[in-house]
Amino acid sequence: MEPGFIARQLIKRALTEDIGREDVTTSAIVCENEIGCARAVAKSPLVVAGLFIFEEVFLCLDPAMKTTRYVAEGKQVQPGDILLTLKGNLRSILTAERVALNFLQRLCGIATLTRAYVDAVAGTEAKILDTRKTTPGLRSLEKYAVTAGGGCNHRFGLADGVLIKDNHIWAAGSIAAAVKRARSHAHHLLKIQVEVKNMAELAEALAAGADVIMLDNMNLCQIKEAVAIVAGRVPLEASGNVTLANVREIAATRVNFISVGALTHSAPAADISLLLGATERG
């Protein structure tokens, strides 16, 4: 994935928000044509994601900025490792620093947390999925970061598949009615997933012909019972109350997927610094 129209528009909005009329500090202290060098350095163990947008922030202010990447996307790095170096207009480096780091720290944080979940279920059949619980406007980047961490994407948006949740069931009157309506409306390539909370709803979803079933906030005993009942007839997704402490036990039940909203709504920012090196007059 490389920066596209959406990423560039996000960068422009973020820079406008941060700079306002002028970076008064940098303008006062740094000469207009001064050239600087800087390096992005990991301050904690992390998985790299988003170097392309980090570069693009600086290039928006200085198209002549020279960047060199030292690690690949998805790479695990350690404290002190250099991720990328910059050489270009020093004013541009200082002015773009915070916005560039905000994007990179956010995306690396998501990738790092995702990798922890993926590692926790290694050797099982379960795949770790993200959700739509993303920062408004940043979904494409955040879902990219999940894949950089080794996870898989659930629906990108509402058009990507039918997911019948409790409010849909209430509106339709029953699971069977909701599935019937969805089947008549959706084209033949759209799968229909149904969220269930108990074994009675599981049985109804199976009878209605659901393509995928989401086990919502079920405990381990309930998930194991559901896996036994379904017996491989449709894929099962466990969702709700998933943590690093219990995800391996959930995966051991042999569900196919485990969705984790925390990957995008609660990932801590990765600790990364931008450090200036020697400068020269231009």
**Which residues are known catalytic residues?**
98, 133, 165, 195, 216
Q: CA 282, CA 277: separation in Å to the nearest integer? A: 15
Q: CA 206, CA 175: separation in Å to the nearest integer? A: 10
Beta strands in 48-161 (DSSP E): 66-69, 76-77, 82-89, 127-129
Return all residues near 123 (Cβ < 8 A) that are at least 6 apart. Answer: none
Q: Residues 51, 83: contact at Cβ < 8 Å?
A: yes
Kindly report the backbone phi and psi dihedral angles of residue 180, in degrees, each rounded to the nearest multiple of 5, phi listed first: -60, -45
Q: Residues 144, 108: contact at Cβ < 8 Å?
A: no
